[in-house]
Amino acid sequence: MNDQVLEIKTALQILKPANEVFEAIVDPLKMSNYFISKGSGRLEDEKQILWQFNEFDMEFPIQVGKIEKDKYISFYWEMDNIKLLVEIKLTLRRLKSTLVTITEKSRENNESGIKWLKGNTEGWANFLACLKAYLEYGINLRKGAFDFLSDKP
């Protein structure tokens, strides 16, 4: 990465084997327990799907790139008319745990790029914390977490 390009990279270890982590990410029913409200389909090579986030009243079309079972997931989505690549790498660790590393790239190092960097870094850290809570403890951290954004008390 050079000074003109911004890239997000974050990681967290999940105390579950890679196959469980992989399924929690590619299966929209499982993902709806910690990240999205609804997904139109399973993440599969070259597939176009739609993720819904009801708490933000948003939908994101996702163009799946390459999938390597239990190891790697990539997809593209757009922000500000810029196509961004998201890569999720699963690395088996000792004691059947998995290191999940997420990289999102890239944006120019300017005001809108810095805004993206801040927001999406926060978003991916939230994704990892919610994934860990769901897989290790069966808890949905997103439930009610964003109710403060609505105009209802």
pLDDT tens digits, one per residue of 71-99: 999 999 998 899 999 999 999 998 889 99
Secondary structure element (H or E) that encloses residue 25, with its range? helix 18-26
Q: Rounded to a whole number, what is the distance in angstroms from the first to the last CA of the chain?
A: 44
Q: What angle do the packed helices 18-26 and 111-137 form, to 10 degrees?
A: 120
The predicted-structure confidence for 30-39, as pLDDT tens digits, reads as follows: 999 999 989 9
**Which tokens belong to 22?**
């992989």
Q: Domains, the chain, ranges and CATH?
A: 5-145 (3.30.530.20)
17 near 92, Cβ under 8 Å?
yes
**Which tokens belong to 84?**
């961004």
| Helix and strand element counts for the chain (H, E) | 3, 7
